[in-house]
Chain A
Amino acid sequence: MSKKLRSKLVITPWIVWLGFLGILLLAGLAGGILVFWKGLVITNLTDLVPWGLWITIDLSSIALAAGAFSLCAGVYLFGLKRYQPIARTATFIGLIGYTMAMLALILDIGKPERFWKAVVYWNTHSLMWEVTMCVVLYLTVLLFETMPIIANFEWLRKRFPRIAALMGRVHHYAPFLAILGLGLSSLHQSSLGAVYGVIKARPFWFKPEMSVLFMFSAIVGGISLTLFASMLASRLTSKAKVNDALIERAAHFVGYLLIGYFYFRAWDVLSMTYTYDPGRSEGLGLITKGPLAFNFWIGEMLLGMIVPMILLLYKPARMNRFWRMTALLLVAAGVVAFRWDTNLTGLLVVMPYISGQAIAYTSYRPSWIEIVTGAAIIAFGLTGFSLGVKYLRVVDHSLVEGEHAKVQVEAVEPVVV
């Protein structure tokens, strides 16, 4: 009896991992309850910096979930069918990413219980409204897109075979869902940039390329995270099986995308802000030589773009799994740094509204409650992905799904007279 129990209680790395995530989740849950109870006063957000760490997590989760729409569009609309197994992983990561974004927003808004009002009361002028609507609709699309994946759940298939079969059949509508996903994602990924880009009062943000950059960086970061997560899972568990040649080819493509991203971002920061414009030049100063300089030069440019660009375009490095994984992780982290820098550059420069007065600066450092709850949101994402790998075969390139949206025509038997 005791022997049996001991064998059951054996501590595997899986248990340790889940235990670690569990602790983060519990701490975050406690922190979240504290936020709802005490209010946002316990954060380090102020009237001058009303958006901080949580908004960065929200923006980053959505950006890094963009692998879902980009890869689904590639597979189902542009005919790159061989990438279907990666698109499957991306879809699941997408669902997790958007759920993380929702969690961050619920913490961040002052009246979480009124969240639904954004769907009921429409201000079509507001980019925030547009983003909210798109995110809600896209989350619905993602739910449908992940149904065939959830149908893989062993327990569900045994207990409710009919429901599982029905969910599996949603796969036939994958191309239509991909079109919807592409439309909704293009809208809100770029609109998230425009949320900042339309703010005339803050000259560093007020520029049209914000939308383009948010969209572009999301595609680059989203695909990278999907590839990285697939590779990492395949190294850690036998439940995840990857076709390395497929990942290598996709990673090569990311390398080329990075050239475009590097060009856009360098142009955005260094050219668009070249002449003096009050507020804009001060914002430039913040990221080139101010408190955000390390983030920008090292986090975004060097480690987020240049290093991975070289690693992914130089064949020997790309063929080496360790360096490929490193490069892909760096890209994803660089996109997070971009979101953080963008949010803060506009807020830390305090524009005077009285002509002739000097521009002032403020500062922001997240409070421990923001960090603990933020870590829990990330732990939630990691838990979701880990469980998906173990129980839903989220990363399994050997899994072949049935052909989608093909009409089966029975051959007419030849009539022999």
Chain B
Amino acid sequence: MSDKRSNPVDKRSNPADKRSSPMEKNINRREFLKLAAVGVAVAAGTRAVTSTKASSDAPKGKHQWAMVIDQSKCTGCDYCTLACQAHNDISPDMRWNKVIDDGMVGDMQVFVPRPCMHCEKAPCVEVCPVKASYYRDDGIVMMDYERCIGCRYCQVACPYDARSFNWEKFTGENPAVPEWGTPEVERRPRGVPEKCSFCYQTIDRGLSLGLTPGVDSDATPACVNVCPTGARLFGDLNDPESIVSKLLHENPSYRLRENLGTGPRVYYLPAIPEKKEA
């Protein structure tokens, strides 16, 4: 059923006029530094604003999990997707995580890995008629596969194409197992959409063992653990000492389709060719 998953977004190629970051393609170092400084200020400002007006609907728990993806480091190897397929026992027809080729910045190939954004104001949660999609206190957008009626309104509403529907039951071998990991969650039934959960099962088990997600690999999402270049980072936004808080404080960052106001919890550090060479 690969045609069900056909995603024209992946097929596009015309690298010349594309860029992965909000920054211009041909800028010299001095201009870049200026831009970056402004970027940091803006990013910091935006975060200050978003945290003060933090969604009244989504209860804020002790932790606020977030992911930072450093595009300077991502090589597009797709290991994150493979680990995800194995740990979450996903059908080969589906992807919770996708790595999308976004053309060149300078002479550097740029990729956009795309998990679920775990939005602060998630369209999928707002539109679900039965509250099968819901917010956890720690910000993870969860699916209750037992409650979902399969209307697919969430799929229609998601701005990031992050949901895959179980058009048929996934039976048989998972080709990513055991090479890329072993399944940690049950397979989803036919007739419901599924999506990335930030590996909540790992986070919850890790926390109960006193581990720190983002620091201890036994408490960290599979895609972050497997990344060979350390392009994916995970942590608690409520903890100013966490790696994600620090990175977002020190670097300009952006989020996907920010203008929609969904408030994604996945942040991207734009690709900077100099950084990669260093």
Contacts and interface: CB of A to CB of B under 8 A. Distances in A.
B155 A41 contact: no
Contacts of B17: 356
A353 interface: yes
Contacts of A109: 149-151, 191
Interface in B123-162: 123, 125-132, 147-153, 155-161
Given A128-B129, A355-B22, A117 B147 contact: yes
A10 B17 CA distance: 74
Nearest to B22: A355
A67 to B, nearest CB: 27
Interface string B1-43: 1011111110110100111101000000000000000000000
Interface of B is mostly: loop
Residue among B4, B102, B260 with max Cβ neighbours from chain A (10 Å): B4
B165 interface: yes
Interface stretch (B166-174, B202-210, B219-227): B166-174
B191 A41 contact: no
Nearest to A118: B129
Contacts of A132: 129
B198 to A, nearest CB: 18
A66 to B, nearest CB: 22
B130 A40 contact: no
Nearest to A121: B130
A357 B167 contact: no
Contact of A350 (B9, B152, B260): B9
B112 interface: yes
B21 to A, nearest CB: 8
Given A47-B5, A111-B191, A125 B126 contact: yes
Nearest to B257: A353
A267 interface: no
A355 B3 CA distance: 25
Contacts of A195: 153
A398 to B, nearest CB: 45
Contacts of A356: 17-20, 102
A50 B156 contact: yes
A126 interface: yes
A123 B151 contact: no
B164 interface: yes
B190 interface: yes
A200 B165 contact: no
B265 interface: no
B130 A110 contact: no
A200 B262 CA distance: 10
| Band of interface residues on A | 35 or more
B163 interface: yes
Contacts of B166: 110
B82 interface: no
B18 A50 contact: no
B100 interface: yes
B148 A111 contact: yes
B260 A201 contact: yes
Nearest to A360: B8
Contacts of B269: none
A46 B4 contact: yes
Interface string A196-224: 00111110000000000000000000000
Nearest to A50: B152
Contacts of A199: 123, 127, 156-157
A164 interface: no
A354 B100 contact: yes
Given A111-B191, A355-B22, A198 B156 contact: no
A199 to B, nearest CB: 5
Contact of A48 (B6, B126, B127, B192): B6
A217 B131 CA distance: 31
Contact of B158 (A51, A115, A122, A201): A201
B152 A360 contact: no
A286 B94 CA distance: 28
A135 to B, nearest CB: 12
B12 A353 contact: no
B191 A38 contact: no
Given A110-B152, A118-B130, A126-B153, A46 B147 contact: no
B165 A357 contact: no
B87 interface: no
Interface string A113-146: 0110110111101111100100000000000000
A198 B124 CA distance: 12
Contacts of A350: 7-9, 161
Contacts of A47: 4-5, 7, 155, 161, 163-165
Nearest to A350: B8
A51 B152 contact: yes
Nearest to A105: B151
B114 interface: yes
Contacts of B147: 114, 117, 121
B186 to A, nearest CB: 16
A242 interface: no
A353 B260 CA distance: 11
Given A45-B167, A109-B150, A354-B9, 18 more contacts: A41-B1, A46-B5, A47-B5, A47-B7, A47-B165, A48-B7, A50-B152, A50-B156, A109-B191, A123-B129, A127-B127, A128-B153, A195-B153, A201-B257, A346-B156, A353-B159, A356-B102, A357-B9
Closest 10 CB pairs of A and B: A110-B150, A110-B191, A360-B8, A201-B159, A41-B168, A128-B129, A129-B129, A50-B152, A41-B167, A121-B130
Interface of B: 1, 3-9, 11-12, 14, 17-20, 22, 100, 102, 112, 114, 123, 125-132, 147-153, 155-161, 163-169, 189-193, 256-257, 260-261
10 contacts: A40-B165, A109-B191, A110-B151, A111-B191, A200-B260, A353-B9, A354-B20, A355-B257, A356-B102, A357-B102
